[in-house]
Amino acid sequence: MNEPWVRPTAFAITFAIMFVFESLFPRRIRTENRIARTWNNLLLSFFNTAAFRFIPFLSAVGTANLAESKKLGLFHMWNVPIVLQYVLVVILLDLLIYWQHVAFHRIPILWQIHRVHHADHDLDASSGLRFHPIEIAVSLLIKSLAVLALGASPKSVILFEVILNSCAIFNHSNLKLPQNIDQLLRLLLVTPDMHRVHHSIHRDETRCNYGFNIPWWDRMFHTYKAQPREPHEKMQLGVPEFPDSQQTVSILSMLLIPFKDRPQDDSVAKQNETRIPR
């Protein structure tokens, strides 16, 4: 499987499909210029790809190649059947990404970085690509260590990465799904309505629905919230620290967000916080 071609091709197809469908069936009225937002979010994604493409220890697929050549990891020790390997890689890495996402919200220094993703005042397919390079580096390192520990095959890791990227584009999209279809899909996938709750400006809602691919973890660990307090069409997105969209749209402003102090205290958000069961 030719990874340099497979992932970009899958990305381009998924993004093009969701771009068209969210244009035809929008869930919310946009508040910002779509072209400017999409262009800058794509630029940030391309910058991240170029920055980390050739760093071996920050490549999950590169680490999988190393594990395969040296016969490292649990799958090589236990001789796990190939089909079961694929299933376990997709499920276990998704669970890892869930807890990584929780950490980026609960640990203050990581939240400073993750705010880049949440500071988007609109939410659409391009928002699924909007992550700061530091967050990408941390995520790649964590995934690479997990891949090495498992001894995951390169093809299984490529499959997971394609699923992860495609689901991120899908569940960040501004697509309006019929309610019955949304409820059915939530049994297997994180839907746009489910994930949009996570991008609410309210802190208690932001600390819900952490899943990217599989929706089971939020239910299992009591971080699931079915709907936002306001209707989807009217709910406010973003973070309280950056109420002005001009602070968050350009690629330069996005790169600088982690280094900006918070202009207001969390106490305002805490007043509205509903504690999530632990």
User: What pLDDT was estimated at residue 262?
Assistant: 61
User: What pLDDT was estimated at residue 165?
Assistant: 94
User: What pLDDT was estimated at residue 80?
Assistant: 85
Amino acid at 135: E
Does the structure show a pLDDT above 80 at 274?
no
* Closest to 113 in 3D by CA, of 123, 96, 100: 100
User: What pLDDT was estimated at residue 273?
Assistant: 42
* Confidence class for position 195, pLDDT limits 50, 70, 90: very high
264/256 Cα distance (integer angstroms): 17
Look up residue 265 and give its DSSP letter: -
Higher pLDDT: 72 or 3? It is 72
User: What pLDDT was estimated at residue 3?
Assistant: 65
226/14 Cα distance (integer angstroms): 25
User: CA distances (Å), 47 to each of 5, 43, 130, 177, in order?
Assistant: 18, 6, 11, 32
39/236 Cα distance (integer angstroms): 22
- What would the pLDDT profile of 208-267 be if each residue is shown by its tens digit? 999 989 999 999 999 999 999 999 999 999 999 888 777 788 899 999 999 987 644 443
Q: Token pair of 151, please?
A: 């001894």
* Closest to 75 in 3D by CA, of 58, 59, 92: 92
Number of H helices, E strands in the chain: 14, 0
Does the structure show a pLDDT above 50 at 276?
no
- What would the pLDDT profile of 88-125 be if each residue is shown by its tens digit? 999 999 999 999 999 999 999 999 999 999 999 999 99
170/206 Cα distance (integer angstroms): 19
Q: What is the dihedral of CA 195, 60, 12, 43, to 10 degrees?
A: 80
Q: Are 42 and 126 in contact (CB under 8 A)?
A: yes
Say how many C-beta atoms besides its own lie within 10 A of residue 25's C-beta: 13
